[in-house]
Every structure is written in structure tokens, then in C-alpha cells.
Structure 1
């Protein structure tokens, strides 16, 4: 099959004929002079958007200047200049790019001179534009149609931005991007996912988009709400002609590779289909237009493991299912689940109304209903997870669905007030609903082990899914008032929004149990029922030790006591509400944004932009207080009040941009551009809401553990073992009191994230339209964000692990031996600002669009970007405590600077497209994207707790230079001697590209990088005109999109490498438990070396290393 698809692709390549809330508009400005170069005042100018007949009017000012603001993107436009006694000048073929200010200067001639029609800028490259200042990328509809997209996703195209790495831009995390469509927020602003919603589907159809703009450093103050990138899309609109298309895209197992070098990977049955239809046209010609797109996705993904290839036994599981039904009246669902589902239904609709020559109204609506099915969570799972895998088969009741639904309405009114003034008003409302649901109703989660430490099966409500929901409501308004005063275009405006969040999350709310075996569980249930029958239905006083397993038909090895670790302990956990109802974390935030700007056309060669933006967040939420926490004093004398958010603080963002053209003529053009300024974004609001949900008064926690000794005998600790009832309210205290829990707090001086960016670039147009660019971007953190555990105290000791003395301080637990007597909380994690962080990136780029000659229709673009980004944290977790404890560091409470996850050493990016017109009835388009990049960064950490903060696997390791630096630390472990362990350790360090270069140093956070990967994606489409009459045609389009085309050509190519021991934190040195310093001495760390580890990397056998193909068919009429 692989050869068949390769042959089909090559056939199309060779003989294609054989298969017959940001700125969402553009502007235009310039100067009108006579043949003596004198400015002409009062020239009448009309710009007509020919597809819709929309007309815009203005006249020239005393200095001959004019401007059209808030124009529709695209075109073509016809612009006519008329003046009494002069010939009418006409410019045609004008197409406008999103955010562009097209400069169009005209010389008027007296009516005695004959004129020819002038077709404008057929060879115009929007890079050479007086409005361009900072780093950005424009993705046109043509690029979306011709370049490869295996997922039909916006992400497939934003990667065309040179200074990007995955979804990160300029080294800044994706969490700080601002994604908009027609100005409507399409962010997951709460921060629980990388895109809008968490179902893993696309929020809007790629078919509905006209253009996409990726802005990393725009110095126009109208663009705000991000420190990473502003990703701004505009949808298609109707015209005076009716257009329609229907399409289908599909992927299947036969369209996927199964060989990675010498490995053969089975491809299970799956299906992936997308269907859609688009309609557009006039309702009233030249007046009212519509566009609508409807699309649906239907995907089924296989589950590789069932009882046929797992240690779990179908007979045992069926018996367990019968037992649950008979004894507890509970149906756990199926245990041989063989697939998961993803579905999405989308609608994009738009009306454009030319009310009159001065007012244009646009109405937009976006709809999404989607879900995907998920395997049981690995959070808090036994060693091997919960499956499905080679060890464990869970019941379907432990699976869960993630639902993501939204309705978004937008309206914008474009008003021309007079020749000098115009206004653009945009208002919108977004209703987003994310929630989880599951089969079987609510029931405690039960993990049953295999008699050791691995899971055997799981059933019941997934521990994180009870009332797991997020309701988001956003009201937004943006208004831009523009005034033209000759060389100055003044803008004043507002970009403000009100956001209301309601978030529900309570881990273990239905209760979570762990049992050592199926028989252990059955014995506990039967004993509990017998006890309750004898005690009027009460479980008070129940103790499993009072029952004999043999009386219930079980062997003496059955204890009914859980054994979820090597030490063995009974475990039951439950979080319960301290109020009458389930407590949701609710926060309301109003953000006021005001700005003013002057675009100053100093001369034909120099344009300056000067602006100031002010953003003020107001937290409008009443929170509960915690008197016990408020009474305590934490590190550095800090007192906290969980009932108060920070007061409103204005944040000022001044910006300056420039564009200078030393020369611009038929011999070439040189453009020097750039700017500097402050960019203020928004934080992931889940970090803010952590304070509302983790204040120590909303929830109580039960954690029951009956410890066993080394001989598996129960140690009486005064707590009875619990009996399983299936009732989630059985053990909830009648009058619960809040237990000691984690506290999240926001620093009273906290400010929204802000970053100072400086950009300088030169664009040189030469030859027949080639454009070379060199660009430099430097960013400095002003108010970055990190999490600080102010409830954790340092001791006077330090850790000796072979490195420099006093590099790593020692902590004594997370709530013991503190200064004072804090007992009301465990972790107390404060959201704070830091200014420690910076990045520097350079891009070299060369591109050309061939508009004539034998290569007409060819587009080439190549870039190489390199640099690095450093910061205090990546902020990868949504929970405050997790964000703190998962940050790799020497001292987890210090503002240590390391590489960010989005930092990249070098990225080569090539893209090309070409359309071959075989005849007036057939054409074939080819597109490719090639990347050479580093897939990820990672950190070298100890496996264990090196600094006594009770957090494991987040302590950066010391890389020994020689044996003398490990002889006091390295234990033999699984080796015969310390010498053998050192030989293995030294050999591993020497073969590793990062460790070998940093011997005698502490590893850096994200200091190590994966080997370079090479990926070539290819697109081939063939158009056949099946009908053509009176200027109208019907076209049938066949397309193939191939991801990792190199692997299709050769199974040894396109292979991505991953790490042997983990992609984020690599741990090959394990710290035994029970270590720590004496009262007076520093702590000498001991560790063991992993056995049979001789390579850092291995081939990644997953989809990323195998070719995939998507077939599409589209009918356009």
C-alpha cells in the first residue's frame, strides 16, 4: 500500500493532467501631486471593492494626502482619482492584506494628455510596505489552499512564522498568545488547554478563513492582550456572485506508515472523516451579502490493548462485573473498550450590509459542539497507569468525555464620518461551556492491583471528573476613532472586556479506593455488608481485621487491605464540600484598555508610529476568608488574606515603531524597520482562580491509611480500616471541619504579564522580485509570572552532592519544622512577578513570488532562525502547587533563570508552492513545507527528593567531572560494586551531548535538547473544470496531503528521536528514601545509577515518525 501511495503521489507530481480582537481590516493611503510635484487639494477619490460593489469616498487634504481606513481585506479594488481639468486616474488589481496600510501615490495629468489604465502591484510584495514595523507573518487563502495541512488545522500554518517553535513564539509560552477570529477571542483564556476548549478539536473550520496574521512584535497599540503572539484571523465574506463548495477529507489505516527503520508498528483500524459545505452570495446586490460554512468531524481511534493482549483476564473481569451488579447494584460498563471517539460540529456565519456609502455593518456567528472520549486519567495512578495497557484493562465507567461547546456573536460597524474622521466599533459576546461526563453515573473510583504495584483494572467515576466544568462568559468592546491631519493619523480607542469564569474541580470527590486484588475487594464488600446488616446499616466501628476471609470463601492470603506501594497501606481518599452545595470557584474580571497613537508620515521615505496603551484589570469577586491562615506569618514575615485579590493597577505600554526606505525604485528597494515598546498580556486565569478554589475553607479531605509492617502485618494506628459501600457520602463528616490543605494566594503587588520587545529588521528587494530579510528580536521580562511556596522554610544545612558548596539549600518537609507554628496549611503558593528573563532571536529569510515567465505561479520562501529564551518558569501546570513543584531547579523557591521550553537553538523552514496550468480545464498545484528543528528541550534531574522539600524528581542534578566527585555519593545499587556503577555512569555521561559538555556543573533547566528532526510535508491537488459557461465554472478538486513525506520515500528518513527515560525530566540517578542531614551537618546525598542505560535517545515509534496521508475531494461552483 505504501508503494501504491508513493506511486500515486509521484504520478500527480509528474503528470497531474492525467487525473483531470485585533485589527481585522486594511487601509490605503498616499499622496496626490501634479506633474510639477505640487500637492493637489480636493481631489475626489473613490475606492471600489469590486466583488461586492462596496464604495469608499474621500478627498485629498491641503498637503495632497489622503487615506482610506477600515477597508475590507482582499479585493480586487479599483481606485479612481478625479479633478476638474485633469484626466481621471484609475488604478486596478489592488489586493489588500490584513493589517496593511497600502501606499498608493498618484500623479495627476492635465486632460490634454492621453492615459493608459494602470494595473497596480501585480508584483507588489506586502513585505515592502510603509506600515510594516515588527516581526509578523501573513498567511493568505492561497497559501492555505496550496500548502500541506494534514490536520486541517490553523496550527499547520502558523508554524510558517520563522520565530516560532511549536505553539510558542519568540520563546514565549503558548499560554501568553492571543488568538482572535474577526476580533472575537478564540483563546482558552482560563488556561486549561492550549486552544479554545479541551476536546482536542478545531474551534473553527479552516475553510471559513480568508487570511491569518501572526504578530510577534506589532508596534501598533491597537494590538494587545499578548506577550507571545497575536494570531488574528479574518473569515470569508459574500460577494455579488453566488459561490458554493462541498468537501470531504479522510484518513484511514491504509494511509499511514507502519515502518520506522527496522521496526514494524501495527496500525489498528481507525477512521477520520471531515465533511463540510460553504455558501456565499448576495441577498441584495451591492448591498447585503452572506457567507455560511458548516462542518463536522467524525473520528474513531483504536485502543491497542484489550483482554486479548493484556494480563487482565476476561473471565475474572466478567466475574467482577457480575459481583458489582449483584452485591452493589452497579454496572461498571464494558471492559473490552476498543475505541475512543471524537466529534465536532461547527458553523461559521456572516452578514455584511452596506447600509450606505458611509456605514458598513458586519454580523458574525460561530458555533461549536464537540467532545472526545478519554482513557482513565493517570493522575494518582498505580505504577503502570490505569490502562488500557499490557497489564490493566479498565471498565468503561472509568473513561470520561471532555465536552467543549461555544456560541460566539460579533458585530462591527465601520463608519466614515467625513474626509478626515472615521470610526470602527466592534462588540461581542462569547458563551463557552466545557465539562466532563461519563457513563454509569457517579460512583467511587476503585483501582484494583495485580497483587503487587501494578494496576489490574479500574472502575467508577474518574477521580478528577465530578462536577469538572468551566463556564466562561466574555463581553468585549473595541472602538477605534481615527482622525487624519495631513501627515498625522491620530487613533484613540478602547479594547475592553468583562470575563466571568465558573470552574468546578475537586479531586477524589466521589471517593477513591485502592485494593490489592479482586478477591480483596470482594471480601471487603461482603464483610462490610455483613457488618452493616448487624448494625442497622451503619459502618461506624467497622474493622476488616475482625472478619475471616475463609468464612467468605477466600484464601487466608486475602486481607481486604489495600497495598498500593511497596510498603503497603490501605488507602481511601475523598474531598468533600464544607458548604451545603458543591463549591465552584467563580471569578469576574473587567479589563479596561485605552490607547492613543499617532502614525506620522514624515516623508515618502520615513513613517513613524508613536503610541501609548493603558490596561487596568479590576477583580470583581467576593472571596471567602480563612481566619486561621490569616493569623499565621509565613516566610519573610508575609501575612496573607485569601479573601482579597490585588487592587486595580494601571499598566502602561508605550510603543514606538518606524519604517524607513532609503531607496525604492525599479532597481530595488531597501526597507529598514523596527521599533521598541512594552506588551502587556493576560495571565491564564486559572492561576488567578486558584485562590478562589484553594483557600482552605471550601473543601475538607479524608486520607485514611492503615500502615503494614515489613511482614505484611497491620500496624494498629488507632484508625479502623474502612468498608466499601459504593455510597460517596458514607464517610463524609456530618459536620466537617476544614483539614489542612494547600493554599493559593496572589501577591497583592501582582501585575499582569508584560514584556519589553525591541525589533530591528532590514528588507531588501532585488532582481525580479526577490526579497531578503534579516531580523533581530530582543525581549526582556518586566512582569513575568512564577509560583513561590512561601510556606516552605529553609534549614541552615546545604546538600553536598559533589558540586560547589552551598549551591542547594536543604528544606525539612513542607509543613514541619517551620519558623513559628504554622499548622493551618500545607503548601502556601503565591503567584508573583519576576523581571528575570530575556530572549534574543535572529532570522534570515529569502522569498519570491514569480508572477510571469516560465516559472509563473511559483512561490518560494526560506528562513533560518536561531537564538535562545531564558526565564524563571514555563508555567505548564494549571494548579498552583503543581506549577511550583514541577519546576526543575536547584532551589525551587529561588528566581532561578533557565531555558524556557519554547527556546530553540535553530530552525530551518522552507515552503514552496506551484500551480501548473495544463489547459483551460485542468491545473495541478503542489505545495511543501520542510522543517529542520529540535522537537523539545528537557532537564536532567534526580529521581527522588534531593533537597528535602518533599517533592520528587524536580531537583536538577550535579554532573560529576570525575570519580572523586562521586565516591562519597554513588552507591552500588544494582551493580556489583561502586566501580562498576561509576563505569556505567561515566560511559553514559560521555555519550550524552549535553552531559559531556557540562561536567563539573549543575544541569540547567531545559538545558538539554533533542536531536534535530527533519520533516517534509507535501500537498498535491488537481483541479478539473467540469463545467464552464458565461464566465462561471464548476471545479472538481482532488487532493493529497502527506505528513512526513520523507518516511514515505524511505523508512529510515523522517524519524524523530525521543529520550529513553522521559521527555521533560530525565532521571537516571535515584535517591534512596530516608536520607537527610543531622542537626549540625550538611547533607551528603547518596544515589544509585540506572542499570542497562547506555544511550540517551531512542527512535520515537509513534505517529510523528511515520508518514500519514489525507485524501480530499472538493466540488467548487
Structure 2
């Protein structure tokens, strides 16, 4: 099955908004921030035509503005960073430099400036920010999770979505009591939502490396029309960028099989591997200082754990499964003689492995003082062997199938400073997703018979009990869903 969400009509509407002067400030769809304020003299009179230079000290990115007739200025679509400086100059007046400002997702920072005449202030005045109160206008409530939070808080499985529980309205991926399918996922302001499940694009343990996330935000009660696909709320993440300093990291976690108990939770001797390895790295830095930067991140995981199917070894196991070994043997004999079930083991303990990978790359290019180009790509792949079963009480081994989940999103963003009062940001993304479920190798690829035997009776501890056992195929496999999603967003 293929799906495509993009029409010439939609593109036409977007370009009409762009070229016929429909001016909006859409902060919910854009992940960037803004700095605004008023410049006055010591008497409280607005200074008209004062020049402001906003600079990201980590990358060299700059943006400028000129105050209007009321002394006000606004700089929109600022890339997120932890070290911005604001320099204000006006002819005949001293220069003020504000440093150390952190700009996070959705922030609308208000910075009012008072300049002194040069006769009273002959040198540049520097102000270091030690406590900045961000004034943020939002339609709904939100919870921000920073890179520091992700680095210091324990996260099982290396999925940043686990930290969504920091929001008081969250229950996992369910927000405000809504279904998880009512939660919208965005990365860098563009959709990361699966057309199939309406959740995150990858069914694996993670869809993007935690090492690639700068910060994310959980927003609810948002009535902005641009967030119409989020009945419950929005999980909006922003990715990291390279800086003028070469930096990197590497990690490895190994829960080796020999470190695990020899016995399973029932006290039986464990026969199959029980281990998990998580590994990855990041690397970022300048290609051309103050102009061209890169950032790379990789995250991998190997998860091996036993798959137990009616693994009867003790009388306690017979009670647990409501099935005696004698009845199970009789069932398997009939299944093999009458229905062609393979002679290989269909119950017991089986080796099961899952491999997950994500790779992220981003380039930021300051083409000139007016244009910033960003290109980023995120790829994820998850192969879950014997990861799909049916809903019968007991499914034979041949019922279990494999599931492959792949997603790739390629985004290009161009921020253009049209004038000192007008900024435009154009984003284009292509999102590809594939969910491919295949039946067990013991079964034919198509026209697979499926049989559910109900009330398989046994005598266990003097009691007459029964259960349901399934053989053959299942309701979920084979299944293949492939989608191509094109998205165009313009913030003027």
C-alpha cells in the first residue's frame, strides 16, 4: 500500500501566501525563536534607526535589525543556541553589548535597551546575562526538556520520548487522556508522524538518536490552526548543529550474557542468549569557520532475549499454561501428521534478536549575511525477528513473523533576511516510511492457512483445564505499508 500527501493545489495556496504578502508569525510550526524589544535614550525617548546585531557566538551566525519610528525592533526565526550576543549601536551614543543569552525552542525574548550619549559613555558597555526571563506568548501549555535534562536523567532504551513523562499531562505517548494516535510528532518543525500508526515514524526502540536531539517540548491545549493534527498534544524536537569547535562523543553499554543469571524467572536453566548492547557516537565541528558546520550522530542497539512458547518443564509450568505436556505432544503430533507443521521445534525456548540503527547528519551553511541554508537527514532501521505474533493464548513458533521498519526524512531549510524588518524561512521535507511484515520462513509466502484450536483440554493437578493453540499463519502477516510524504512550510 502506498500513500502520498501533497497536491499541486496545496503548493499553489502556499505560494499565494508567500508572494501576495500574507504575513504571519507562526511560532508553533517553526521551531526557531525571536528577540525583540525597544531602544531608548536615558530620557525614555525612542531612538529611531538604531542598529542591532544578533550573533551566535558558537557558529558565527548573524542577524540584524533597525529600530522603527517607535524604537522597536524584532528579529525572527533565530536558530537555537546557548550563547547569543546582542550589540546595539546608534550614532552619537555609546555601544552596548549583551552576551551569554540562551535561546530555546519557541522563545520570544524581550530585550529593552537604554543607550547613553557618547559624552557620558566613551567606551563600549558589556552586559553579561546571568538570569534571563523569557517572555513567551503561547496558545497552550508546554513542558520543555533540555539537552541537560536528557544528559542527566536516566533513560531506559535511549528513546527521548521516555522523558515525555516529565509533562504533568502525559501518560507515555498519550497526552491529556487522548489516544497516542492523537499526538503529533515533529522534528525541526516538520512532521515525524507515521501515516500508518499515527505515532512516531519507526516502530523500533527509537526513531532518532538521543545524541542528535538538542531539546524537545511537549505542548498541549494548543488551538493554533497550524497544529490541527494534534488532538492530544505535540512532541516537538529540535536537532543539534555543529559549532566552531570540533566536538564529539562515543558510548557503549554492554549487558553481556555471562553477566545474566543462568536461570530464567521460573528458576529453569536458561538455554538462549540474554544480552543487550547499545553503542554510538557523535561528531561535529566547522568545515569553514563561521560559515559551514556539520554534525553527525549514530545510535545502534542489539537486543537478544529468549522467546518462550509453551515452554513446559515443570508441573508449575503446566499450571501456568493450563496445558499438560501430554496434551501438547498430542496436539503437535496431529498438527504435523494432518496439517504439515514442520518437524522442527514449535514450542520451548528460542533465540530471538532485534537490531536497531539510526544515523543522523546535518549541515548548516551561512551562504551570506542574509541567507542560512540547513540540510539534514535522519535514517532509522529496525529489524525485529520473530517479533509479530497473533493473539491466541499459545502460538506455535511457525506463527511468529519478522517485522522491518524503515524511515528516512530529508529536510532542507532556507532562512532569508529580506530586510531589517522582514525574515522568511522556507522548509521542504521528504519523508519515506516502510513497514514490512513477513511470515515465518517455515510457511509459504502467500495463501497461508491459519488454524485456531480452541478448548485444547488437559488434566493438571486433578483439574480439567483448557487453552487455545494456533498454528499456521496469522491475521497481521504478510503486510507491507510504504508511504511517501512531501511537506512544504513557509514562515514569513
Please report the TM-score for the alignment, with normalisation by the length of structure 2.
Answer: 0.81
CA distance in 2, matches of 1:355, 1:308: 69
Distance in 2 (CA, whole Å) between partners of 1:450 and 1:373 is 29
- Distance across 2 between alignment mates of 1:220 and 1:31: 27
Aligned residues: 436
Contact conserved, 2:56 with 2:84, CA < 8 A, in 1?
Answer: yes
Q: CA deviation at 1:271?
A: 1.6
Residues 619-639 of structure 1: per-residue CA shift (max 9 Å, x gap): xxxxxxxxxxxxxxxxxxxxx
- Can you list the C-alpha shifts for 1:6-34, whole angstroms capped at 9, x where unaligned? xxxxxxxxxxxxxxx83211111111001
The answer to whether the Cα contact below 8 Å between 1:398 and 1:459 also exists between their aligned partners in 2 is yes
The equivalent residue for 1:419 is 420
| 1:341 CA displacement | 2.4
**Quick one: structure 1 residues 450 and 174, their matched pair in 2 at CA, closer, same or farther if it must change by over 3 Å?**
closer
After superposition, where does 1:345-384 map in structure 2 within 5 Å? 345-374=357-386, 377-379=389-391, 381=392
Aligned to 1:112: 119
Match of 1:480 among 469, 486, 491: 491
Q: Which residue of 1 aligns with 2:147?
A: 141
Once the two structures are TM-superposed, the CA of residue 236 in structure 1 deviates from its matched residue by 0.6
- For 1:88 and 1:108, the matched residues in 2 are separated by 7
1:470 deviates by 1.6
Equivalent position of 1:239 in the other structure: 243
Instruction: Note closer, same or farther for the CA distance 1:273–1:449 as it changes in structure 2 (3 Å cut).
Output: same
1:228 is aligned to 232
State the shift of 1:35 in Å.
Answer: 0.5
* SS of equivalent to 1:111: coil
Distance 1:368 1:415 in 2: 31
Please give the alpha-carbon distance, in whole angstroms, between the structure 1 residues aligned to 2:432 and 2:138: 35
Distance 2:267 2:119 in 1: 79
Structure 1: distance between partners of 2:387 and 2:146: 38
Q: Structure 1 pair 375/428, CA: closer, same or farther in 2 (3 Å)?
A: closer
In the alignment, structure 1 residue 89 sits paired with structure 2 residue 100: no
Aligned mates of 1:376, 1:241 — CA distance in 2? 45
Whole-angstrom distance in 2 between the partners of 1:376 and 1:212: 31
Structure 1 equivalent of residue 221 of structure 2: 217
The 5 Å alignment of 1:189-338 reads 189-191=195-197, 194-198=199-203, 200-218=204-222, 221-251=225-255, 270-304=274-308, 305-309=310-314, 311-312=324-325, 323=337, 331=342, 333-335=344-346, 336-338=348-350
Is 1:57 the equivalent of 2:64?
Answer: yes
- What is the aligned partner in structure 1 of residue 8 from structure 2? none
Question: How far did residue 213 of structure 1 move?
Answer: 1.2
Q: Secondary structure at the match of 1:52?
A: coil
Map Cα deviations across residues 120-176 of structure 1 (whole Å, 9 max, x no partner): 2x22244xx143553111111011111221222223211111222332222332221
* 1:194-214 Cα deviation digits (max 9, x unpaired): 43243x421111111001011
Q: Are the aligned partners of 1:32 and 1:105 in contact in 2 as well (CA < 8 Å)? A: yes
1:444 aligns with 2:449: yes
* Larger of the two Rg values belongs to structure: 1
Contact 1:367–1:408 (CA<8 Å) still a contact in 2? Answer: yes
For residues 149-168 of structure 1, what are the structure 2 equivalents within 5 Å?
149-168=155-174
Conserved 8 A contact 2:250-2:282 = yes
- Between the aligned partners of 1:178 and 1:377, the Cα distance in structure 2 is 28
The 1:87/1:265 distance shift into structure 2, 3 A limit, reads farther
- Bigger mean CA offset, 305-314 vs 49-58: 305-314
Deviation at 1:215, TM superposition (A): 1.1
Answer yes or no: is the 8 Å Cα contact 1:413–1:425 preserved in 2.
yes
Structure 1 residue 464, shift from structure 2 partner? 2.7
Q: Within 2, Cα distance between the matches of 1:145 and 1:134?
A: 27
Which residue of structure 1 lines up, in the alignment, with residue 394 of structure 2? Answer: 386
Aligned to 2:131: 123
- Aligned 1:13-52 pairs, distance under 5 A: 22-52=29-59
Alignment partners' CA distance in 2, 1:181 and 1:477: 14
Match of 1:761 in 2: none
Q: Which residue of 1 aligns with 2:408?
A: 407
Pick which of 109-118 and 289-298 moved more: 109-118
Label 1:162 to 1:266 Cα distance change in 2 as closer, same or farther (>3 A): farther
Query: Taking structure 1 as reference, are residues 408 and 196 closer, same or farther at Cα in structure 2, changes over 3 Å only?
Result: same
SS at 1:230's partner residue?
strand
Q: Secondary structure at the match of 1:37?
A: coil
Distance 1:84 1:402, change over 3 A: same
Aligned counterpart, 2:481 = 470
Q: Which one has a larger percent strand, Structure 1 or Structure 2?
A: 2
- Please show how residues 625-1024 of structure 1 align to structure 2 within 5 Å: none
Structure-2 separation of matches of 1:322 and 1:175:
42
SS at match of 1:159: helix
Per-residue deviation, residues 478-521 of structure 1 (Å, max 9, x unmatched): 1111xxxxxxxxxxxxxxxxxxxxxxxxxxxxxxxxxxxxxxxx
How far apart, CA to CA, are the structure 2 residues paired with 1:420 and 1:347?
Answer: 38
CA spacing shift, 1:320–1:300, aligned 2, 3 Å: farther
Cα 1:251–1:424, aligned 2, differ >3 Å: closer, same or farther? same
Q: How much has 1:254 moved relative to structure 2?
A: 9.4
The answer on whether the counterparts of 2:30 and 2:491 sit within 8 Å (CA) in structure 1 is no
Residue aligned with 2:163, SS: helix
Partner residue in 2 for 1:630? none
Contact 2:157 2:205 in 1 (8 A): no
Give the structure-1-normalised TM-score: 0.37
Partners of 1:245 and 1:318 in 2: CA distance = 52
Please name the residue that 2:82 is paired with.
75
- Find the residue that maps to 1:274 and give its secondary structure: strand
CA apart distance, 1:355: 0.7
Query: Distance in 2 between the 1:451 and 1:76 partners?
Result: 68
Structure 2 counterpart SS, 1:142: helix
Residues of 2 paired with 1:344 and 1:296: CA distance?
Answer: 6
Q: Secondary structure of 1:351's match? A: strand
- 1:1013-1035 Cα deviation digits (max 9, x unpaired): xxxxxxxxxxxxxxxxxxxxxxx
Within 2, Cα distance between the matches of 1:161 and 1:220?
20
Structure 2 equivalent of residue 180 of structure 1: 186
C-alpha RMSD of the superposition: 2.9
CA contact (8 A) 1:140 1:211 kept: yes
Contact 1:46–1:79 (8 Å) recurs in 2: yes
Change (3 A) 1:308 1:131: same
Contact 2:418–2:424 (CA under 8 A) maintained in structure 1: yes
1-structure distance, mates of 2:333, 2:400:
20
Distance 2:437 2:184 in 1: 25
Q: CA deviation at 1:340?
A: 2.8
Contact 1:22 1:232 in 2 (8 A): no
Distance change in 2, residues 1:254/1:47 (3 Å): farther
What secondary structure is seen at the aligned counterpart in 2 of 1:308? coil
Deviations 1:264-309 (A, max 9, x none): 8769662222111111111122111111111111112223452435
In structure 2, what is the Cα distance between the partners aligned to 1:445 and 1:104?
A: 68
Aligned residues of 2:305 and 2:352 also touching (Cα < 8 A): yes
* Cα 1:222/1:76, change in 2 over 3 Å: farther
